[in-house]
Amino acid sequence: MRHTLEQCADAFFDAAWTSVAAQLATDLRLKNDLLKRRGTGAALASVSDAVTLAPGGDSIIVDQLQDNATAAHGTGVTFLPSVFGRPHLMVVHARGWQPVVQYPVAEASPAEPVSLETVTRRLEALAHPVRLRLLRTLARGPHTTGELAHAWNSHPRRYPATSPSCATPGCSRPGGAAATSTTPSTCRR
């Protein structure tokens, strides 16, 4: 196992690590500063718009498609920044294990401006209520057409018909294995 890890380090990891280490350290400093100066709620909000502190301050709410809960009393929650997982927020938990939230580190530079023509095409794609509902769901993460149908209590064949009209203006992209996801720079909430 050690030999395999050393080969990976030589082949790609060492170069990748040097390019992202400063970005991860900056994110750590930012989160610690927010936690000290503005509290837990501000630190959680900087992780993602989908992560908030409950009004009572006793739990963390992660807005995802699933209705699920876990307890972290005594064990805490691990927040794991990722440069390569952008734009996805991933929460993993299992009975007896400490919950982990993997979140994307903010981009170092602002995104390129979007043309008026592209914005117009995207808004036209959102004019249909089914497409709008579909994109709201996809903005939370990739889903297969079957998962979308199950989540919205409809038939899977309904979604391939709406997906191309969203893909044309650049609001979605195929994600493999019949999965679809929004691109980070195109369809933000």
Q: What's the pLDDT score for residue 66?
A: 67
| Interval 116-164: pLDDT, tens | 888 887 777 777 777 777 777 777 777 777 887 787 787 777 665 445 4
Q: Which residues of 141-178 are buried (b: 16+ CB within 10 A; e: fewer)?
A: bbbbbebbbeeeeeeeeebeebbebbeebbbbbeeeee
**Least confident window among 40-49, 103-112, 171-180:** 171-180
Pairing outcome for strands 100-104 and 78-82? parallel
Q: What's the pLDDT score for residue 11?
A: 78
Select from 56, 73, 65, 54 the least CA-distant residue to 91.
Answer: 65
Res. 185: pLDDT tops 50: no
Q: What's the pLDDT score for residue 114?
A: 73
97 and 76 in contact (C-beta within 8 Å)?
no
Res. 183: pLDDT tops 80: no
Residue type at position 152: W
Q: What's the pLDDT score for residue 174?
A: 46
- Model pTM score: 0.51
Displacement of CA 123 from its chain's centroid (Å): 22
